Amino acid sequence: MNGKLMAAGIAFAFGAIQLPTATLAQQPLVIKFSHVVSPDAPKGKAANYFKELAEKYTNGKVKVEVYPNSSLYKDKEELEALQLGTVQLLAPSISKFGPLGIKEFDVFDLPFLMSDDARARQMMASPMMGDLNKKLEAKAISPLAYWDNGAHVYTANKALVSPADFRGLKMRIQGSKVLDAVARELGAIPQIMAFSELYQALQTGVVDGEDNVPSNILTQKFYEVQKHLTVSYHGRLTYALVTNKKFWDTLPADLREPLGRAVKESTDFFNSTAEKDNADALERIKASGKIEFHYLDDAQKKAWVAKLMPVHKEMQSRFGKDFIEKIYKASGFVAPQS
Ligand code: LMR
């Protein structure tokens, strides 16, 4: 550095040179929005839409930086970063809250709990979520909305048609204890793994299969490194749009109102695009011809449900029978008579 520059640097550091007030006043508030999926997946699109609306509604007083594809943080790191306030917005799958010490969200992973998209959305927006939201708040996380991304299908390097087909397979799961129990009940070996590591793990055979929504299987190209896809719709992918509680609570009112509006409208956007995106993704994966499709007929589906009902029973000791029954009521699930 030359002498003049160094002198200017020192003067600036000690406040001898001041930026014009107008320049300071114009510095936008930066909101970092980190997520793990592709910008072309429903969550990626909704994050970009939120950015557009937030910047527009605050007249540029807020700048949203969106970091897709785990480019800023991976699954577990992003939640820790949110608690520390080094990132302000995330939309993780609610199956990833367990490691924070909040076990209740895992209940939504009970197999075949939700059959109906409209009902799933209604449930996540209902007052029943109040107690669960408080659990997040106690961990410095404020939920702003829930985004329902539809039903899971399985992919694997062998055909999964009957529950016995899972025996001995290494299956990647998210962090939820219910998903762990599901894999074990099927005789598979569950492995918790960050989403960002999944493509390579499937490609190299570190795991044999996984379950996800079609839009993720398409945009992450999992279908290129898996041989079979079963349209099982056995579980769901729900996101919580979450922020750091202190950050949100201390926002000036003139920013909170337009940001709240951007949250509401990007939630509507998510809900109107996700269903179509997943249906389109399934068709595009099929059209690629790279993966064999399997649909379960009624008898096969019945066999899966029967095989997995013991997980519902086993989880009574984890969540309490009353809580599970409350969730059944909200989701419309009726346990089959055995
Ligand atoms: C996964 O981890 O499998 C997905 O839920 C990732 C995501 O956020 O959609």
Inform me whether the pLDDT recorded for 1 exceeds 70.
no
Ligand 1 touching residue 219 (CB < 6 A): no
DSSP H helices, the chain, are 3-13, 21-25, 42-57, 75-84, 117-124, 130-137, 177-185, 198-204, 214-219, 245-249, 253-288, 298-314, 316-319, 321-331
* Cβ contact 242:78 at 8 Å: no
Quote the DSSP letter at residue 21: H
The single residue listed with the structure tokens 């087909």 is: 165
Strand partners, 191: 172
C-alpha R_g of the chain: 22
Inform me whether the pLDDT recorded for 2 exceeds 80.
no
322-336 mean pLDDT: 91
Give the C-alpha separation, 63 to 56, whole Å: 10
At 98-138, the pLDDT tens digits run 999 999 999 999 999 987 888 888 888 888 899 999 999 99
Give the C-alpha separation, 32 to 235, whole Å: 30
pTM: 0.91
Inform me whether the pLDDT recorded for 8 exceeds 70.
no
* pLDDT value, residue 125: 84
Ligand 1 touching residue 155 (CB < 6 A): no
Ligand 1 touching residue 212 (CB < 6 A): yes
Ligand 1 touching residue 93 (CB < 6 A): yes
* pLDDT value, residue 299: 97
15 vs 135: which has the higher pLDDT: 135
Inform me whether the pLDDT recorded for 19 exceeds 70.
no
Nearest-atom number in ligand 1 for the CA of 174 is 2
Give the C-alpha separation, 85 to 184, whole Å: 36
Average of per-residue pLDDT values in the chain: 92
Average the pLDDT over each of 23-37, 48-62, 322-336 and give the range with the smallest value.
23-37
Nearest CA to ligand 1 atom 1: 195
At 231-276, the pLDDT tens digits run 999 999 999 999 999 999 999 999 999 999 999 999 999 999 999 9
Q: What percent of the chain has pLDDT over 70?
A: 92
